[in-house]
A and B are shown apart, each in its own frame.
Chain A
Amino acid sequence: MAGLHEDLRDIKEQDRYDFRTEIDYAHRSRRGIGEDVVRDISALKNEPQWMLDFRLKALESFFEMPMPTWGVDLGTLDFEQFYYFMRATPGKQRSWDEVPDAIKETFEKLGIPEAERKYLAGVETQMDSEAVYSSLKDEWERQGIIFVDMDTAVREYPDLVQAHISKAVPIRDNKFAALNSAFWSGGSFVYVPKGVKVEIPLQAYFRINAQSLGQFERTIIIADEESNVHYIEGCTAPQYTEAALHTGVIEIFVKQGAHARYTTIQNWSRNVYNLVTQRAIVDADGLMEWVDGNLGSGVTMKYPAVVLKGERARGEVLSIAFAGDGQHYDAGAKAIHLAPNTSSIVTSKSISKGSGRSSFRGLVRIGRGMHSSQSRVVCDALLLDPESRSDTYPYIDVSEDDAKVEHEATVSKISEDQLFYLMSRGLSEQQAAAIIINGFLEPFVKELPMEYAVELNRLIQLQMEGSVG
């Protein structure tokens, strides 16, 4: 693991040199953590007192709470080295020349349009999609859908925000949730009224004036009774950020009979610690689906959770992780059954290449009295190289006799016979391996909207070549 952290440090050093004097920030907090920084952020955002209080309380919790001692190695994570708030000067953002070549090359290989590249590299904070956006926006407004960035939500919908923030992910859930609660910036706020079915997935990049994937994004999605919404965060292109720490918190509330799906594919640059808390509370007859792809970052800890609170609530977590050289994922899912007749399905697929390491950590809890509940956990790992590694840590805690829990885990390698078969049809070894891997990931990919599936396939191919930034 020493190698990984050396790499991370190296990249960080490089970032500092690349960007140190060039960027003109309207505002940047001092390096490190402190009450002054929290007050500063809150003041700059013109936040109401309750939000400042929330942040300060969270900061206190952050100081009190211990670092996790399991999962990935966070031994070299030094909170004092990061900036916790940065706001670029409008019109004076980072220039394209300053984006590291490795990132530019990757964009090139991915064939991403110029406009999108700049956006993704942080050169522009919005895409040239205003026309598309505004027509969608009218439609959403007509249906009573709220889709804004969190800062706007705090100003314009304080009651809704106050009623939901930290209700799925409490401040003290874990140290990083506390950190996010104190320093959050960016993220989306979504409210879908009763019975409204949102036809087109809500995508973060449609949202104007947003640093959509901030380092401490806070997202709240409320799917009111009998509504239906699919929210997509992120993009498959590498997300470059100077801040090497990403701790998002996503809270989703699925009301009675509603259906929410949250899809994210993270491809942070390799210098990033990605420590995310995602949790959904699902009422009776509701359905929550997390579709979670992980390709980037140096280390990742994230366990999308479903809390099945109402009878017949259902939760699904479908995730993939592709750990390339030097990457370490400790990811998985949690299913907490708090009502009878609830069901959960967890499907995890991981690929480890080179010295990459991918661990699955899952928790299923079915308490006494939650009769007729069931859970099925399937995790499949594919190891591409002899030194690749995969571990499975399933925690199953069932106190109800009338509950059914299944757990299946497989670890496989690409078989020689499969390679030979595909190669005998003219495909190079690399193409053959990529096809086998795509097949392995198919259950995930087929859940993605077309454009994401296409991009993911390209990314996998690049990851296979070992050339992703």
Chain B
Amino acid sequence: MALEIRNLHVAVEGEDILKGVSLVVERGTKHALMGPNGSGKSTLSYSLMGHPNYLVTEGDILLDGTSLLGMPPDERARAGLFLAMQYPVAVSGVSLYSFLHAATSAVRGYGDQSDTATRGRFNAHMMPMREFRKEVNDELDLLKIDPIFLRRYLNEGFSGGEKKRAEILQMAMLQPRYAILDETDSGLDIDALRIVSEGVNTLQRELNIGLLLITHYQRILNYIHPDVVHIFVDGRIVKTGDFELVEILEEQGYEWVRQELVGGQK
């Protein structure tokens, strides 16, 4: 039971960005992926989720043994993969509440529109309202979000921190088996970081999520303690280790890794 990335090569607009990424995230484990700007971390997250602009030229992505390649993003989500995005887009006129309701219903299998028996009945493909509301309220408590927040339009006018909380709220409702958190710590102040991290920890534990945490900085890792740490440079994982790696990085920066790499090549 794992999210398995095998020798993944990805090109964006003809340019090779990922150059052979291999990584296995077991169910219930926490991996951190750290790397400098422009190293291709976000390309990795988009590729895993199946963004149409990211072309897999080689390799494979397996979720519990099934290849995700060829699946559009919605199928990947329904297969149990979640991506908390670094820059979630705004959708005007769509309340966070109704969006969450639709998404939760779709992922949990209420959304099967081919079911002719329910066709034409409005909301037949939606999770029952009362059930949904109760669950949302529980998750709002967990993440310390004011319920009024749900009435706002999806990500429209949200502060950086609000966007990140909304992403984790979505994760809580969609209950993935594997989740990629792409710089979820950016834009969070220290209190928000703690609340969000604690929320992620609780969810990770309860749902036994395989977590891939993409970040620049150590601070979120002090809250969400990773089992494995990878260092990502120039489209590749160049080093894998335990938490100690994080500390070395914080002290010496990515320059240290580059130096080591250059040294290694010599």
Contacts and interface: CB of A to CB of B under 8 A. Distances in A.
Interface stretch (B12-20, B99-107, B184-192, B251-259): B99-107
Contact of A429 (B49, B72, B99): B72
Contacts of A424: 49-50, 73-74, 76-77, 82-83, 85
B91 A436 contact: yes
A416 B74 contact: no
Contacts of B50: 424
B262 to A, nearest CB: 37
B123 to A, nearest CB: 9
B83 A431 contact: no
A439 interface: yes
Given A416-B53, A427-B74, A435-B102, A109 B120 contact: yes
B78 interface: yes
Interface in A400-442: 415-418, 420-429, 431-432, 435-436, 438-442
Interface residues of A, number: 31
Contacts of A398: none
Q: How many of chain B's residues touch chain A, expressed as a range? A: 35 or more
Contacts of B85: 421, 424
B92 A439 contact: yes
Contacts of A435: 91, 94, 99, 102
Nearest to B105: A426
A394 interface: no
A458 B72 contact: no
B52 A431 contact: no
A446 to B, nearest CB: 9
Interface in B211-242: none
A454 interface: yes
B107 A111 contact: no
A418 B91 contact: yes
A171 to B, nearest CB: 41
Given A110-B120, A431-B111, A425 B91 contact: no
Max count, chain B CB within 10 A of own CB: residue among A110, A421, A435 = A421
Interface string B105-147: 0110001010000011110000000000000000000000000
Contact of B91 (A109, A111, A439, A441): A439
Max count, chain B CB within 10 A of own CB: residue among A418, A424, A439 = A424
B150 to A, nearest CB: 15
Contacts of B52: 416, 420
Interface of B: 49-53, 72-74, 76-78, 82-83, 85, 88-89, 91-94, 99, 102-103, 106-107, 111, 113, 119-122, 153-154, 170, 174
Given A423-B73, A436-B94, A454-B122, 7 more contacts: A417-B89, A418-B89, A420-B49, A420-B51, A421-B89, A425-B77, A431-B111
